[in-house]
């Protein structure tokens, strides 16, 4: 039985996860998620992938505790989970976690692997692995260290306590807290804009950001290389021409920058 329901609409793939009873990351679910993510490798039509849960209380509970053992099969399943996290992080498309329930352990690691993550008032985020005598296994500690800093990461990992969406936003575990009642409208507006871009635009900024986090100078070099390459494109020159025609670099920019962009897009789509 498929544990993923996938709907494609205007460049946005919405993936709904349903693995009863509590959306545990079992090997079957991991394999299905891996297969889906890898299937997008050469997909230029899909710009955004949104991960949601069908469960009322759980986004993803955690990695299946039955595979956390010393057996060959258990170790292999744990490694596949780690591969899944890596695969999500290297997707060309923009990955988005929409969390309206619990995301602990591997569930929280899944959330942090996504490019953007939004949580409602019903969500909770934690890395409680220490209480079952293991460290995080899907880059949870790595991400906490990079996002929270040494002292906050150490406290969070040693306590294993839950964070609300507001707390998770403040700690940079998720991108933003969004009330459930406002989530659909927020996603439609935010992802609607991004889905109009090309996949290569998303890939470009992912590459610049990743390089910059590792090495500021390397990021600066990559950014300049992209800038000079894009400046030569006919598409760039056409956009700049239309932008100037509709009030770019005039006083209209002060109060109506979006209007100039809209008029520019309208002309170029004719």
Interval 26-35: pLDDT, tens: 999 999 999 9
Q: What is the pTM of this model?
A: 0.95
Any residues with CB less than 8 A from the CB of 82 and at least 6 apart, and which? 137, 138, 139
Interval 173-187: pLDDT, tens: 999 999 999 999 999
Find the mean pLDDT for residues 141-151.
98
Does the pLDDT of residue 9 top 80, yes or no? yes
| Tokens standing for residue 227 | 């800038």
Does the pLDDT of residue 1 top 90, yes or no? no
Interval 38-60: pLDDT, tens: 999 999 999 999 999 999 999 99
213: confidence class by pLDDT, cuts 50, 70, 90? very high
Q: To the nearest whole number, what is the mean pLDDT of the chain?
A: 97
Q: For position 92, what pLDDT does the model report?
A: 97
Q: For position 116, what pLDDT does the model report?
A: 98
Does the pLDDT of residue 15 top 80, yes or no? yes
Find the mean pLDDT for residues 62-68.
95
Q: For position 270, what pLDDT does the model report?
A: 83
Does the pLDDT of residue 201 top 80, yes or no? yes
63: confidence class by pLDDT, cuts 50, 70, 90? very high
Interval 217-236: pLDDT, tens: 999 999 999 999 999 999 99
Which of these, 113, 13, 7, 130, lies nearest to 60 by C-alpha position?
113
């Amino acid at each position: 039985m498929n544990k993923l329901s996938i709907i494609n609409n205007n460049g946005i793939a919405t993936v709904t996860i349903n693995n009863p009873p509590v959306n545990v990351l079992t090997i079957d679910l991991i394999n299905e998620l891996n297969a889906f993510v890898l299937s997008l490798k050469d997909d230029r039509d899909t710009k955004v992938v949104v991960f949601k849960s069908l469960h009322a209380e759980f986004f993803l509970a955690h990695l299946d505790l039955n595979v956390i053992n010393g057996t060959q099969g258990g170790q292999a399943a744990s490694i596949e989970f780690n591969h899944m996290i890596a695969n999500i992080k290297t997707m060309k498309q923009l990955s988005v976690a929409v969390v309206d329930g619990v995301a602990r352990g591997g569930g929280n690691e899944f959330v942090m692997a996504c490019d953007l993550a939004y949580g409602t008032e019903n969500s909770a985020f934690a890395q409680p692995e220490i209480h079952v005598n293991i460290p995080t296994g899907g880059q949870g500690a790595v991400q906490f260290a990079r996002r929270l800093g040494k002292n906050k990461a150490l406290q969070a990992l040693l306590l294993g306590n839950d964070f609300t969406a507001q707390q998770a936003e403040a700690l940079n575990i998720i991108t933003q807290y969004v009330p459930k009642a406002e989530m659909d409208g927020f996603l439609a507006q935010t992802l609607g804009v991004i889905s109009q871009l090309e996949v290569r635009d998303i890939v470009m900024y992912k590459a610049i950001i990743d390089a910059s986090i590792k090495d500021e100078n390397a990021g600066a070099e990559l950014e300049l290389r992209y800038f000079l390459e894009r400046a030569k494109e006919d598409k760039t020159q056409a956009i700049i021409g239309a932008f100037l025609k509709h009030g770019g670099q005039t006083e209209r920019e002060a109060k109506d920058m979006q209007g100039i962009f809209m008029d520019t897009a309208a002309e170029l789509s004719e």
